[in-house]
């Protein structure tokens, strides 16, 4: 004989079964969308994330070819047509989390999230291409060469890399997977603006960000301006 408990358990199993089918079909539809748009990434998972700057949605992506992951933090409603305040922040473990003074990354990350939090709407793409795409260990090797007097560009070249190995088309794909087509981009790097525009993202405005300059990173920021085309008021006015 079936009791109430059996009926309930059957119902729960039935719901779990259908939820799994729903999850699978959602994943399949996202993979088909990525294939149709010829995207390099898949949108894999998302969850609510409370932060000091407000509550957001954290979205995880995976590169189809390599399985490397990236994330987006989505604040507020980005489904409305107004351009979204946004920053592509390339991973810098030393600057973002270990308080390094060799660069301005941690300050830029904090200032961006603060600005987005104040607007109550925006997207931070956390682009996990550490050390301008050369990886953490090679970044440390580059730092060792900088200890001997090379600048950040010369060090990358000596290690056999380009000055900047990052692939920003991945970021255009993340925007597309989030449904974002127009942004106000927080950056000093005009290359990011050009690549996004070519990839079909409408960058309606470049929002400068100049924070975290100190005695240890002054030369690094100067080289970024002179050799990598970054736009800093302090450097470019010289
Ligand atoms: Zn950094």
User: So what's the pLDDT on residue 223?
Assistant: 80
Compute, in angstroms, the gap from residue 100 CA to the centroid of ligand 1.
8
pLDDT tens for residues 162-216? Answer: 999 999 999 999 999 999 999 999 999 999 999 999 999 999 999 999 888 888 8
69: region left, alpha or beta (phi > 0 left; psi from -120 to 50 alpha)? beta
Compute, in angstroms, the gap from residue 55 CA to the centroid of ligand 1.
25
Compute, in angstroms, the gap from residue 20 CA to the centroid of ligand 1.
41
pLDDT tens for residues 191-204? Answer: 999 999 999 999 99
Q: What domains sit in the chain, N to C, each tagged with a CATH number?
A: 44-129+166-228 (3.40.50.10990)
Taking ligand 1, which is a single-atom ion, which protein residues have CB atoms under 5 Å away?
Answer: 92, 95, 103, 105
> Which residue numbers are catalytic?
164, 166
Please give the mean pLDDT across all residues of the chain.
Answer: 87
Compute, in angstroms, the gap from residue 109 CA to the centroid of ligand 1.
10
pLDDT tens for residues 65-104? Answer: 999 999 999 999 999 989 999 999 999 999 999 999 999 9
| Residue 238 scores a pLDDT above 50 | no
| Residue 17 scores a pLDDT above 80 | no
Task: Say if CB 203 and CB 172 are below 8 A apart.
Answer: no
3-state secondary structure of 202: strand
């Amino acid at each position: 004989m079936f009791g109430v408990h059996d009926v309930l358990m059957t119902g729960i199993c039935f719901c779990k079964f259908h939820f799994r089918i729903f999850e699978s079909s959602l994943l399949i539809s996202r993979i088909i969308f990525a294939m149709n748009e010829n995207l390099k990434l898949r949108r894999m998972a998302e969850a609510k994330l409370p932060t000091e700057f407000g509550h957001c949605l954290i979205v995880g992506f995976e590169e189809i070819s390599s399985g490397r992951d990236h994330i987006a933090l989505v604040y507020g409603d980005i489904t409305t047509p107004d351009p979204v305040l946004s920053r592509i922040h390339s991973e810098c473990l030393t600057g973002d989390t270990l308080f390094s003074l060799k660069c301005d990354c941690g300050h830029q990350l904090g200032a961006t999230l603060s600005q987005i939090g104040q607007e109550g709407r925006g997207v931070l793409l956390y682009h996990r291409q550490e050390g301008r795409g050369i990886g953490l260990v090679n970044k440390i090797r580059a730092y060792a060469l900088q200890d001997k007097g090379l600048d950040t560009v010369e060090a990358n070249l000596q290690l056999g890399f380009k000055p900047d190995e990052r692939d920003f088309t991945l970021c255009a794909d993340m925007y597309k997977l989030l449904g974002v087509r127009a942004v106000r981009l927080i950056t000093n790097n005009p290359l990011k603006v050009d690549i996004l525009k070519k990839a079909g993202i409408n960058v309606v405005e470049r929002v400068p960000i100049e924070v975290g300059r100190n005695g240890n990173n002054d030369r690094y920021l100067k080289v970024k301006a002179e050799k990598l085309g970054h736009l800093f008021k302090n450097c470019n006015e010289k």
